[in-house]
Amino acid sequence: MDFSYSKTEELFLQMIRSFAENEVKPLAAEVDEQERFPMETVKKMAKLGLMGIPVPRQYGGAGGTVQMYIMAVEELSRVCATTGVILSAHTSLCMAPILENGTEEQKMKYLPKLASGEWIGAFGLTEPNAGTDAAMQQTMAVDAGDKYILNGSKIFITNAAYADVFIVMAMTDKSKGTKGISAFIVEKGFKGFSIGKKELKMGIRGSATCELIFENCEVPKENLLGQLGKGFTIAMKTLDGGRIGIASQALGIAQGAMDETVKYTKERKQFGKSIAQFQNTQFQMADLKTKVEAARLLVRSAAWKKDKGLPYSADAAMAKLFAAETAMEVTTKAVQFHGGYGYTREYPVERMMRDAKITEIYEGTSEVQRMVIAGHLFK
C-alpha cells in the first residue's frame, strides 16, 4: 500500500497550489461579494489544460488521472469553493458521462471543445418536484422522427448561465418509471432551450446556478446519450463520480478553514498569550485535523478506485458524506475560533462556512449518501 503522492502528482500539486494561491485566492472574496462567475479564471485554467484533466489525449484532454483532477478541485476549493465547483460540475457531470456513455461521434464532437475549456459543461437532473426523489422526472422528451422534443424545466443547475453543453435527463416513456428516463446532450443554442432565473444563494455565490427551460426544445436524434431508457442509470453513475469531486471540494474548504484558523490563532492574543497556546484550541484543532486527514484518505481512495476501474459507488458516497460533514464542522468551529472577526467578511472563514453548507446538499444530500452506503451494506 502506498499513500504517498506519485512524482507526477507532486509536480501537479506544486503547479495547482501556486495557481490557486496566485490566480484564484485574490479573487475569492470579490467573486463571492459580487456573485460573479470568475470567467477570467476559467480561461486561465483552460490555457493550462485544467478543464480537461482526466480526458484522454485523443479527445483533446490532458490525459491525466481522476486523482489529479480531484487534487485540483481540492486545491482550488481551499481558496475559492466557487472555482472548485465550476471545475467539478464541468468535469464530473458533463465530460465524464459523455466519455463513459457517448458514441465515438459524440466524443469527437463535444470532448475536445469541453476539455480545452472553449466550452463549459453542465448537468440537468433536478426538477422542482424531483430532488432527492430523482425518479419523479417531469421533463418529457417525445420522439418526433429525426429529433426529440423536450418540454419541462430543471432547477439549481451549476454553471448554467455560462455553459455551452448540458447533459439533460428527460422522460421518454412515463409508463416505465426510471427505465423510461433517457439522457440527452443539449447545446446552448438549441431551438426552444433557454436559461431561466439565477438563484441567489447562501454560498458558492460565484457559480451561476440557474433554471433550464425547455419549450418544445428540439434535440437531434444523434444527441441521445447512451441507450434509450438508460438515462437514470447514467445519471446515478455520473453522480457517483461527481461525489468524489464534491467530496474534494468539501475537503478543500475544510483545509482552507484549517489553514486560516492555524494562522489566526497563532497571531491572536488574549489573556497575554496567543490563543493557539490554549489547550482548548489545541485539542479541538487536533480533532479537526484528524477528521480532515481521514476525509482526504477517503477521497483519495475513492478516486484511486475510479482510476483503477474498480467499483467505487459506496466509496464516493462515504467520501462525500464524511468530507461534507467535516467541512461544515471545521468551518463552523473556524468561525468560532475567530470570534467576532470570524463573523465579518474581513476574514475568509465567514465565506467558507457559507460555502461548506452546500456540500451536504448537492449531488445527493448527506441523507442520500447514507442511503447509498446502507444500500451497499445490506444488499
Partner 1 sequence: MNIIVCIKQVPDTTEIKIDPVKNTLIREGVPSIMNPDDKGGLELALRMKDKYGANVTVITMGPPQADLILREAFAMGVDRAILLSDRKFAGADTLATSYALAGAIKTLDYDVIIAGRQAIDGDTAQVGPEMAEHLGLPQVSYVIDAEREKNGNFIVKKENEDSVQTLEVEGKCVLTVLASAFEARYMTVAGIVDAYDKEVEVWGADKLDVDENKLGLKGSPTKVWQSFPKQLKAPGEVFEVSEEEAVEIIVKKLKEKHLI
Contact letters for partner 1, residues 309-338 (x by CB under 8 A): ------------------------------
CA–CA separation, 31 vs 132, rounded Å? 29
Select 49 or 192, whichever has its Cβ closest to partner 1. 49
363 belongs to the catalytic site: yes
CA–CA separation, 315 vs 369, rounded Å? 10
Which of 64, 226, 241, 242 is the binder for partner 1 (CB under 8 A)? 64
- Element at 168 (helix H, strand E): strand 165-171
CB-CB contact of 169 with 139 (8 Å): yes
The active-site residue, picked from 33, 218, 363, 367, is: 363
CB-CB contact of 87 with 50 (8 Å): yes
Which of 25, 35, 49, 198 is the binder for partner 1 (CB under 8 A)? 49
Select 8 or 290, whichever has its Cβ closest to partner 1. 8
Enumerate residues 17-36 that contact partner 1 by CB under 8 A.
18-19
CA–CA separation, 134 vs 231, rounded Å? 11
CB-CB contact of 147 with 217 (8 Å): no
Which of 5, 25, 29, 63 is the binder for partner 1 (CB under 8 A)? 63
Query: Does residue 15 bind partner 1 (CB under 8 A)?
Result: yes
Which of 29, 48, 135, 161 is the binder for partner 1 (CB under 8 A)? 48
Which of 43, 57, 174, 269 is the binder for partner 1 (CB under 8 A)? 57
Which of these ranges, 12-20, 136-144, 214-222, 355-363, lies near partner 1 under the rule CB under 8 A? 12-20
CA–CA separation, 135 vs 147, rounded Å? 23
Which of 68, 89, 95, 169 is the binder for partner 1 (CB under 8 A)? 68
Query: Does residue 62 bind partner 1 (CB under 8 A)?
Result: yes
CB-CB contact of 364 with 261 (8 Å): no
Which of 27, 50, 246, 323 is the binder for partner 1 (CB under 8 A)? 50
CA–CA separation, 12 vs 4, rounded Å? 14
Least Å distance between CB 8 and partner 1?
6
Query: Does residue 14 bind partner 1 (CB under 8 A)?
Result: yes
Least Å distance between CB 252 and partner 1?
18
Query: Does residue 8 bind partner 1 (CB under 8 A)?
Result: yes
| Among the listed residues 85, 94, 3, 7, the one whose alpha carbon sits nearest the alpha carbon of residue 303 | 3
Tell me the Ramachandran region of residue 273: left when phi exceeds 0, alpha when psi lies from -120 to 50, beta otherwise: beta
Query: Does residue 232 bind partner 1 (CB under 8 A)?
Result: no
Q: Specify which residues 186 forms β-bridges with.
A: 166
Q: How many other CB atoms are found less than 10 A from the CB of residue 43?
A: 12
Q: Specify which residues 347 forms β-bridges with.
A: none
Coil, helix or strand at residue 148: strand
- Chain centre to alpha carbon of residue 42: 15
CA–CA separation, 37 vs 28, rounded Å? 11
Query: Does residue 263 bind partner 1 (CB under 8 A)?
Result: no
Query: Within 13 Å of residue 157, how many CA atoms lie on the same side as its CB?
Result: 31
Which of these ranges, 42-50, 246-254, 264-272, 333-341, lies near partner 1 under the rule CB under 8 A? 42-50
**Whose grid coordinates read 502528482?**
9
Which of 2, 4, 7, 145 is the binder for partner 1 (CB under 8 A)? 7
Query: Does residue 53 bind partner 1 (CB under 8 A)?
Result: yes
Query: Does residue 80 bind partner 1 (CB under 8 A)?
Result: no
Query: Does residue 58 bind partner 1 (CB under 8 A)?
Result: no
Select 23 or 363, whichever has its Cβ closest to partner 1. 23
Least Å distance between CB 79 and partner 1?
15
Phi then psi dihedrals of residue 89, to 5 deg: -65, -45
- Residues belonging to the active site: 363
Residues in contact with partner 1 by the rule CB under 8 A: 7-8, 11-12, 14-15, 18-19, 48-50, 52-53, 57, 62-64, 68
